[in-house]
């Protein structure tokens, strides 16, 4: 028996090595194209005359397009298959991201950000659904944590790259325009790679033998059967709608950081290039926290506890950054906040499959994520409004202290409603 389990673990590790690097690269590209606007703002706002409020609204309006097409996109993926649909997502958002280089004012900026959201909608919940086709529930927290590493990795890699590209002024284009054009190219290439190397499910994987496919499906069948399977059942289940609250609250911090941290660091007196390197520090820290929380969550099975601890860590981090005192203390605060919000996001998505499966899971992943990601509009917009109203960033950071506490409290209250250990 132990030998069989060991062989199964080896098989799933091999599957992870085949799928996760490509998926991680996809999400790095996705998030880079989503948040490079934060670095573009360092010079784009001046060139186009954008106020902090205009920038905050434009940065966040992406999520309204994302919201509108998220559920339809995930349901389409379940019908046509992950390979074709994710390829479509990546190619369209890559082209839209390139087109953002040619905005000329607030309204064209708003339009491109909105269309970018439409184009990318479905990628994140689609990948979460895709993982349920391949990995048993007991191993999924670490797999999702590895996937979520794409967010800090995008900022980690994108920070120095974006800082360098901002200095390019050639062929009649500004640095922020070159940044949009060049950083979209990997997305287009990865879209083609998905079509070639990403099978829809284990049954269609040419690199698995017949017995290996059977072993994967048998292991997945051992997972406890979810209570809710149908789309209608899912829409009537109050727990699905309630989970929007902690997701919204934890994602709020991710985008408040991702879209405003470069500007906040630049305001400390650093150059564009220096800012790009300083911003890397919190994302390096968050990679370590993501890994630690993913491993611990899988070993203990205590999903809700790990989510709540992550949210509270984020709140402490934002409080330290708000109190400040000197640059080092603020960056330490950003490190803790970054580690907390990213590990919270990864742990969160192990919880809906405790009671959802099939079409219900596909719809719920998209529904929760679409509403939750609206915080990507409200977070940056709130930071911009408070910055303009008060003259500094502290009011926005204090708001970010409160929101993760709401995430922890709401999830703690919900935990008793799940039928399996969480």
Residue 418 pLDDT greater than 80, yes or no = no
d(CA 157, CA 144): 20
Residue 290 pLDDT greater than 90, yes or no = no
Residues sharing a CB contact under 8 Å with residue 352, sequence separation 6 or more, in sequence order: 240, 243, 361, 364, 365, 368
What are the helix (H) ranges across 135-271?
140-148, 150-165, 175-183, 185-197, 210-221, 231-236, 238-242, 244-266
Q: Note the pLDDT of residue 98.
A: 93
Helix, strand or coil for residue 173? Answer: strand
* 77 in Cβ contact with 89 (< 8 Å): no
Q: Note the pLDDT of residue 320.
A: 94
pLDDT in tens, 114-170: 999 899 888 888 888 899 889 888 888 888 888 888 778 877 777 777 778 888 888
Q: Note the pLDDT of residue 110.
A: 93
Q: Note the pLDDT of residue 5.
A: 52
**pTM for this predicted structure:** 0.79
Q: Note the pLDDT of residue 1.
A: 45
The mean pLDDT value for 47-63 works out to 84
If you average pLDDT over each of 41-55, 152-166, 186-200, 228-242, which comes out highest?
186-200
d(CA 331, CA 169): 31
Q: Note the pLDDT of residue 194.
A: 92
Residue 204 pLDDT greater than 50, yes or no = yes
pLDDT in tens, 300-344: 888 899 999 999 999 999 999 988 878 899 999 999 999 999 999
pLDDT in tens, 212-248: 999 988 888 887 777 777 878 888 889 999 999 999 9
Greatest C-alpha distance within the chain: 67
Q: Note the pLDDT of residue 369.
A: 85
pLDDT in tens, 58-111: 877 888 888 888 888 888 888 888 899 999 999 998 999 999 999 999 999 999
β-sheet bridge partners, residue 173: 170
Q: What's the gap between Cα 79 and its chain centre? A: 24
d(CA 313, CA 285): 13
What letters, b where the CB count within 10 A reaches 16 and e where it falls short, cover 328-337? eebbbbbbbb
pLDDT in tens, 380-416: 777 777 887 787 778 888 888 999 999 999 999 988 7
């Amino acid at each position: 028996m132990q030998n069989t389990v060991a062989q199964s673990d080896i098989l799933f590790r091999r599957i992870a090595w085949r799928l996760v690097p490509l998926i991680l690269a996809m999400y790095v590209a996705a998030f880079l194209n989503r948040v490079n606007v934060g670095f573009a703002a360092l010079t784009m706002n001046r060139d186009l005359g954008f106020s902090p409020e205009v920038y905050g609204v434009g940065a966040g309006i992406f999520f309204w397009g994302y919201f509108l097409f998220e559920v339809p996109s995930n349901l389409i993926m379940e019908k046509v298959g992950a390979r074709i649909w994710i390829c479509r997502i990546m190619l369209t958002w890559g082209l839209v991201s390139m087109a953002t280089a040619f905005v000329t004012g607030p309204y064209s900026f708003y339009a491109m950000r909105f269309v970018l959201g439409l184009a990318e909608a479905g990628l994140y919940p689609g990948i979460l659904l895709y993982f349920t086709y391949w990995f048993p529930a007991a191993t999924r927290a670490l797999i999702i944590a590895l996937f979520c590493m794409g967010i800090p990795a995008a900022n980690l890699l994108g920070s120095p790259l974006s800082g360098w590209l901002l200095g390019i002024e050639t062929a009649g284009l500004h640095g922020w325009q070159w940044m949009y054009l060049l950083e979209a190219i990997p997305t287009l290439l990865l879209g083609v790679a998905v079509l070639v190397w990403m099978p829809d499910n284990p049954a269609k994987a040419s690199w698995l033998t017949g017995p290996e496919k059977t072993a994967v499906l048998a292991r997945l069948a051992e997972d406890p059967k979810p209570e809710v399977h149908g789309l209608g059942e899912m829409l009537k289940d109050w727990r699905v709608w309630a989970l929007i609250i902690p997701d919204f609250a934890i994602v709020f911090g991710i985008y408040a950081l991702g879209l405003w941290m470069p500007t906040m660091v630049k305001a400390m007196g650093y150059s564009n290039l220096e800012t790009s390197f300083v911003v890397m520090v919190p994302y390096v820290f968050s990679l370590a926290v993501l890994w630690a929380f993913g491993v611990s969550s899988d070993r203990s099975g205590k999903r809700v506890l790990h989510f709540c601890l992550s949210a509270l860590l984020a709140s402490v981090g934002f409080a330290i950054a708000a109190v400040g005192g000197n640059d080092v203390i603020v960056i330490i605060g950003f490190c803790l906040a970054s580690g907390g919000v990213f590990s919270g996001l990864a742990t969160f998505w192990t919880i809906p499959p405790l009671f959802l499966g099939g079409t219900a899971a596909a719809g719920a992943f998209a529904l929760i994520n679409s509403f939750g990601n609206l915080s990507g509009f409200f977070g940056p917009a709130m930071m911009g409004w408070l910055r303009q109203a008060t003259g500094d960033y502290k009011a926005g950071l204090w708001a970010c202290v409160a929101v993760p506490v709401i995430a922890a409290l709401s999830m703690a209250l919900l935990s008793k409603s799940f039928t399996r250990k969480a």
